[in-house]
Amino acid sequence: MKWLKILLLLVLLSSCSSSKVIDLGGATATKGIDVSQKALTVYSSLLDQSGIDKSQQDKIKVLTNPNPSTMKLPDTKASDFSNQLQPRIEAYQKLLTVYTEFNLLTDSKFSDRSKEALISLENSYNAIAKIPDLPEDIRGKLPNIFSIITQTVQAKEIKKHNEILYSLSQVYLELWNDDKPIWDEYLDLVYNSYSDGLSTVDSKRYDVNKISQSSMEPYSDSATIILMYRLSNRDEIMKQKNDLKQQLTAFGKALQELNKTHAEMSKQATDISSVISSLNKIEELLKDKQDAN
């Protein structure tokens, strides 16, 4: 009788653990949706930079022209990464669909969506494979990834789901880590060149009276007022750049935590506390800092 009670207790604990893993599988897929949506926001911001750069450089050309009354309307040809960014946006749109489908598969009610989940995996893989400037070390791993993601998927097979999602998210993570120095350098170019350009504008172009009216600084001489205005502009521009860079860094960390969560969820003995910790970190990393403040 004693052994029977122990057996029943073990079955009960196993059932509770299995239920918890299924719940965490759904929560992980939901965070995958959040991370994918954040990626689309980040890449959209990067896509906007070409227009911002053009507008800023046009402005600098007007302000630094010694005779603007005779100059033609400037039309700067700014750096354009749309050919690189658009395929990445498409890839994360496909990844978003993957997580949406796998979120449904944590519920047995949607067991008939196994085919849709498999199709979404193949579409996400194809979107990555079609990126024209994909680094060779990443491209070399794709055949192995394809063999993993084309396995049959069934509802509530949480560990198998996460094994597949780990392999797929690993490719996205490696691509992001390879790209990020380029995006950081691009943002430096856009905002540093604008700040440097404004610093060369002739002081005679500034209306000191207007600056004084909008400033709370207790200065009266024109030179100081203009220099303080230049400092304020520079700080504002650097803040815009650094805020964008922080978004990129936070997204990269969130993607890394998501990949780590998939790795833990795919283990036979999942460390539930580790998974919960990673999910909480993802939520914090994706939080809108302005809203938090």
In a domain, 262, yes or no: yes
Start-to-end CA distance of the chain, whole Å, equals 59
Q: Is residue 160 part of a domain?
A: yes
Going residue by residue through the chain (293 aa), what tens digit of pLDDT does each one get?
444 333 333 333 333 356 777 788 889 999 999 999 999 999 999 999 999 999 999 999 999 999 988 999 999 998 889 999 999 999 999 999 999 998 888 776 766 778 888 899 999 999 999 998 899 999 998 988 888 877 766 766 788 889 999 999 999 999 999 999 999 999 999 999 999 999 999 999 988 988 888 888 887 888 998 999 999 999 999 999 999 999 999 999 999 999 999 999 998 888 889 999 999 999 999 987 544 44
- The model's pTM is 0.88
**How many domains would you assign to the chain?**
1
Q: Is residue 14 part of a domain?
A: no
Q: Would 258 be classed as within a structural domain?
A: yes
d(CA 55, CA 43): 19
Q: How many CA atoms lie within 13 A of 277 on its CB side?
A: 7
In sign, the C-alpha dihedral spanning 98, 99, 105, 110 is negative
Q: For residue 58, what are the domain limits?
A: 19-63+75-292
The reply to whether 13 falls in a domain is no
Q: Within a domain: residue 11?
A: no
| 12 in a structural domain | no
70 within some domain: no
